[in-house]
Amino acid sequence: MDIERLFDASYVRVLSRELEGQGFFEAFYERFLAASPEVATKFRHTDMARQQVMLKKAFYHLLAFYASSHADYYLQEVAISHSRAYLDISPSLYDLWLESLIDTVRAFDAQFDDEVELAWRLVMTPGIVYMTFHYDRGVRSH
Ligand code: HEM
């Protein structure tokens, strides 16, 4: 099966599930915040329910970027917002982000296997590269 279909099918499965009363994005952020005090500090003033909705929306753009190699305006803005000049999200934190995500998928997807894991990693990686590439380049020109 191709990468996009594997990803889509897994994504449908994880969204349709709750574990210990938590949805997928809630469980992801719980893991991610626990992964490092630096992450928890970055989100200390954040409304996490709202943040979950934002990430869900961003996933659509990450998938579109994987499929098209074209960064839309939304992804450009998110990359700039995470750059040194604004939220200052250092590139090393994206490793924690991806590992927390994969761990959450592993917990939520009953059909999780190596192929599914690889599909998630492949779909997310171009967006992560795009964002970390702009860490030191992310100054708004408008
Ligand atoms: C590919 C990975 C990521 C995606 C798609 C993503 C997506 C988003 C989106 C859509 C927002 C809200 C809009 C914006 O501020 O631009 C946001 C905000 C934020 N993100 Fe990320 N993010 C990613 C990685 C990270 C990482 C690694 C961190 C590290 C701690 C992080 C920390 C934050 C913070 C602190 C905010 C602001 C929260 C607030 O408004 O209080 N993000 N992110």
Q: What is the dihedral of CA 7, 118, 73, 88, to 10 degrees?
A: 130
CA of 51 from ligand 1 middle (Å) equals 8
Contacts of 133 (CB under 8 A, 6+ apart): 79
What ranges in 1-142 are assigned the alpha helix state H?
3-15, 24-35, 37-42, 48-68, 73-81, 93-108, 114-133
Q: Is the CB of 61 under 6 A from ligand 1?
A: no
Cβ–Cβ < 8 Å for 58, 124 = no
The pLDDT assigned to 1 comes to: 67
The pLDDT assigned to 91 comes to: 98
The neighbouring-strand residues paired with 19 are 22
pLDDT in tens, 59-90: 999 999 999 999 999 999 999 999 999 999 99
Give the mutation target among 52, 53, 77, 78 for probing the ligand 1 site: most ligand atoms within 8 A of CB: 78
Give the confidence band of 138 by pLDDT, cuts at 50, 70, 90.
confident
| Plot region of 69 (φ>0 → left; ψ -120 to 50 → alpha; else → beta) | left
Share of the chain above pLDDT 70, in %: 96
Cβ–Cβ < 8 Å for 16, 46 = no
Q: Is the CB of 131 under 6 A from ligand 1?
A: yes
CATH H-level superfamily of 3-133? Globins (1.10.490.10)
Q: Is the CB of 129 under 6 A from ligand 1?
A: no
Which has more confidence, 138 or 41?
Answer: 41
pLDDT in tens, 41-59: 999 999 999 999 999 999 9
Q: Is the CB of 134 under 6 A from ligand 1?
A: no
Q: Which amino acid is at 80?
A: I
